[in-house]
Amino acid sequence: MRHLELPRQPLGFFPTPVHELANLGKLLGGPHIFIKRDDQTGLAFGGNKTRKLEYIIGRALADGADTLITAGAIQSNHCRQTAAAAASLQLPCHLVLGGKSPDSANGNLLLDQLLGAKIHWAGNNRKGEDIPRIEQQLRSEGRKPFVVPYGGSNELGATSFVEALCELDSQTFAMQIDFDHIVFASSSGGTHAGLMVGKKLLKKDYQLTGIAIDKVGSADKSLPQLILELAVSTAEFLKTGCGMDESDLILNKDYTGAGYGIIGPAEKEAISLTARYEGILLDPVYTGRAMAGLIGLIRKGKFKKGESVLFWHTGGAPALFASADELQN
């Protein structure tokens, strides 16, 4: 494997902590629950995109880029972390956000503004459809823009999660724990694909369960297709010699609720239990839903007493403030 030779821009603080959620485990009466704190990566409130951006922006700088462009939803954590990375490197950052300019900015959008990003409103095009036009415009102005892919999910982004699993492996070796399951939010595919490749490379036998956040993948691909294709291309990109197929992919689609970003009773319960029993804040879009999935699977008896489950906290808490109306008691 050659990923250590890839250009990389340090942006976060690693390794992120791993610890047990003993109160929540006791409350639910099922397996031991552990958590991997990628909400603590340190880049402007942290999150899983910090890892991906180290490799992606490493590439951008090696290519001589002087401007970053990326896209996402109005409360995108990916966009906020890209804006923070750009600020730390003193690169202009253009964000193409779905929807239209709200009367007042909150949550991640407020942070995007504080971090100095230039925001372009894209209406229904929340997955970066407008990027080529903006890129063209910047080129015509003599800039060298670099497009950070949607959700940071390309081979470089996924590579950071191959490495994250190696990071976890040395932590669990030191702690002398073995997990039976790893559970995480799966949305644009990079986290999931990287973990799949990492698991194969390290020859681990824990089960990786992605909780699907969105009912849809991209315009032309389903989410499972997207994840598997990225896992295959990442395994090739890193010259791992690992073949990846459908049997490597577990994506649970039972917890997508009323759709992307729509908070239901399950997300509310997961956010509230994790806050009250562990003092840990989840987010309303991704980790709240993924934890709802974990709780649901424990209640269904899928994860059993005596087993150990790791919940990968991928960040996102700034979006809580943008959902204040729905989350208030």
The residues of the shown chain that bind ligand PLP, judged by CB under 6 A, are 47-48, 77-78, 151, 153, 185-192, 283, 286-287, 314-316
- The nearer residue to ligand PLP, 145 or 190, going by C-beta atoms, is 190
Q: Is 76 a catalytic site residue?
A: yes
- The nearer residue to ligand PLP, 65 or 319, going by C-beta atoms, is 319
Report the 10 Å Cβ neighbour count for 229: 14
CB-nearest residue to ligand PLP: 316
- The nearer residue to ligand PLP, 307 or 319, going by C-beta atoms, is 319
DSSP state of 67: E
Q: Give which of 89, 75, 62 is closest to 156, Cα–Cα.
A: 62
Whether residue 95 contacts residue 70, with contact meaning beta carbons closer than 8 Å, is answered with yes
Tell the smallest beta-carbon distance from residue 152 to ligand PLP (Å).
7
DSSP state of 97: E
- The nearer residue to ligand PLP, 153 or 307, going by C-beta atoms, is 153
Tell the smallest beta-carbon distance from residue 247 to ligand PLP (Å).
20
Tell the smallest beta-carbon distance from residue 189 to ligand PLP (Å).
5
- Retrieve residue 189's tokens: 């595919």
Tell the smallest beta-carbon distance from residue 186 to ligand PLP (Å).
5
CA pair distance 222, 159, nearest whole angstrom: 21
Q: Scanning the structure block, which residue is given the tokens 């992919």? A: 249
Q: Give which of 55, 58, 53 is closest to 70, Cα–Cα.
A: 53
CA pair distance 146, 205, nearest whole angstrom: 38
CA pair distance 239, 262, nearest whole angstrom: 39
Q: Which residues form the catalytic set? A: 76
